[in-house]
Amino acid sequence: MVNIVVDHDKCDGCGECISVCPAEVYELNDEGKSVPVRADDCEQCCSCVESCPNGAITVEGCE
C-alpha cells in the first residue's frame, strides 16, 4: 500500500486531486477536505501532488 498524506490544515477542498487522479483515490469528507479513501488503488503517478495548489498532498515515491 502506498503512503498518502493529506495535510488538512493546507487542504481547502478545491477537488483538484479528485479530478486528476486516474485511480479515483480521493473523496471529500464531511469537512470538505480531501481524503485518500482508496489508497490501495494509487498508481503513484503523482498527478495529485503536482496539481494541488496548496501543496497539501504527499505520496510516497513522489519526492
The CATH number of whichever domain residue 13 belongs to comes to 3.30.70.20
Q: Which residue has the cell 481547502?
A: 12
| Residue range 3-15, pLDDT digits in tens | 999 999 999 999 9
Mean pLDDT computed over 51-55 = 98
The total of structural domains in the chain comes to 1
CA angle 37, 34, 60 (to 5 degrees): 65
Average pLDDT rounded to a whole number, residues 22-42:
97
pLDDT of residue 1: 73
**In this model, does residue 63 exceed pLDDT 90?**
no
Tell me the whole-structure pTM to 2 decimals.
0.92
Owning domain of residue 42? 4-59
